[in-house]
């Protein structure tokens, strides 16, 4: 059954990945990409790497692709226009791709590139094992990569931040500190005041009260 599932997931993954690059509508392309991520998570579950699989879904499908979709939907680009010169540039692109391919093969088949991979463990690694690796065995490299990401984030914000002059904003602290007495003044009105000449004193009171 595992083998059958593998072939089903693999077929879906390959199909989805192909549709990502062939879909005409960018929103459809993003959706196919989501399908590809999800299917690769399924493949990882078959490999018993459930933590990795679920984190792939949490991070990429749950967060990154939402923002991606968000951006793509807002874009106003006619992708048909961009595709017009495709066959004109195709020969150059093909040559570049072929050269890169050859280079990669040369590098990867070199004997210095044959670094031993991670040992396949008999039991599936648990979350505890991963935590031990990340926070004890490889503590420093992990923290360094986190700092690197932080620097990248600060740089991105620093490059794009613009102080707007005309924005209005409120201070919630001040808003909460407001008392009813600051906004409304309840006047004591004599309910049984005589009917003669009620207008003059009432109007006076009304004029004087709002001071702030």
Partner 1 sequence: MDIQLIPNFLNGLLGAELGFVVWTLLKIVCIVAPIMGAVAYTTLAERKVIGYMQIRIGPNRVGPFGLLQPVADGIKLLLKEIIAPSAASKGLYFLAPIWVLVPALAAWAVVPFYPGFVLSDINVGLLYVMAITSMGVYGVILAGWASNSKYAFLGAMRAAAQVVSYELAMGFALVGVMMVSSSLNMTEIVNKQAGAFGLVSWNLIPLLPLFVVYFISGVAETNRAPFDVVEGESEIVAGHMVEYSGMSFALFFLAEYANMILISAMTSIMFLGGWLSPFPASWPVLGAPSFIWWVLKVAVMLFMFLWFRATFPRYRYDQLMRLGWKIFIPVTLVWIIVVAAWMQTPFSIWN
Shortest reach from residue 70's CB to partner 1, in Å: 5
Whichever of 13 and 44 has its CB closer to partner 1, that residue is 44
Neighbours of 56 (CB within 10 A): 19
Closest CA to 121 of 113, 111, 133, 112: 133
Q: Does 73 bind partner 1 (CB under 8 A)?
A: yes
> Where does residue 63 rank: exposed (0-12), middle (13-18), buried (19+ CB within 10 A)?
exposed
Site membership for partner 1, residue 70 (CB under 8 A): yes
User: Among residues 73 and 203, whose Cβ is nearest to partner 1?
Assistant: 73
| Distant-in-sequence, close-in-space partners of 39: CB < 8 Å, separation ≥ 6 | 9, 12, 13, 16
Within 24-138, residue ranges assigned H as helices are 26-46, 50-56, 65-74, 79-83, 86-109, 127-132
Smaller CB separation from partner 1, 110 or 128: 128
With CB under 8 A as the contact rule, the residue among 14, 66, 148, 151 that binds partner 1 is 66
Say whether residue 153 binds partner 1 (CB under 8 A).
no
Binding region for partner 1 (CB under 8 A) out of 13-21, 48-56, 103-111, 183-191:
48-56
1 lines the binding site for partner 1 (CB under 8 A): yes
Residues in contact with partner 1, counted by CB under 8 A, come to a total of 22
In angstroms, rounded to a whole number, what is the distance separating the alpha carbons of residues 45 and 61?
16
Choosing from 9, 13, 33, 34, the residue that interacts with partner 1 (CB under 8 A) is: 34
- Shortest approach of partner 1 to residue 41 CB, angstroms? 8
* Count, residues in the chain: 212
Single residue of 11, 58, 94, 101 touching partner 1 by CB under 8 A: 58
Q: What is the DSSP string of 161-180?
A: ----SS-----HHHHHH--H
The residues of the shown chain that bind partner 1, judged by CB under 8 A, are 1, 27, 31, 34, 50-51, 54-55, 57-58, 61-63, 66-67, 69-70, 73, 126-128, 172
């Amino acid at each position: 059954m595992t083998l059958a599932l593998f072939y089903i997931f693999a077929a879906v993954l390959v199909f989805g990945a192909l549709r990502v690059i062939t879909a005409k509508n960018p929103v459809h392309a993003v959706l196919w990409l989501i399908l590809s991520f999800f299917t690769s998570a399924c493949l990882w579950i078959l490999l018993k790497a459930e933590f990795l699989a679920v984190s792939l879904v949490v991070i990429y499908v749950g967060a990154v692709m939402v923002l991606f979709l968000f951006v793509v939907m807002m874009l106003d680009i006619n992708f048909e226009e961009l595709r017009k010169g495709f066959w004109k540039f195709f020969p150059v692109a093909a040559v570049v791709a072929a050269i890169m391919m050859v280079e990669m093969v040369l590098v990867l088949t070199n004997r210095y590139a044959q670094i031993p991979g991670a040992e396949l463990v008999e039991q599936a690694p648990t979350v505890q094992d991963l935590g031990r690796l990340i926070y004890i065995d490889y503590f420093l490299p992990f923290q360094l990569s986190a700092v690197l990401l932080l620097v990248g984030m600060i740089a991105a914000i620093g490059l794009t931040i613009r102080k707007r002059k005309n924005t209005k904003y409120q201070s919630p602290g001040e808003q909460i500190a407001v008392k009813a007495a600051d906004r409304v003044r309840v006047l004591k009105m004599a309910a049984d005041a005589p009917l003669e000449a009620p207008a003059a004193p009432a109007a006076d009171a009304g004029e004087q009260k709002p001071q702030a």
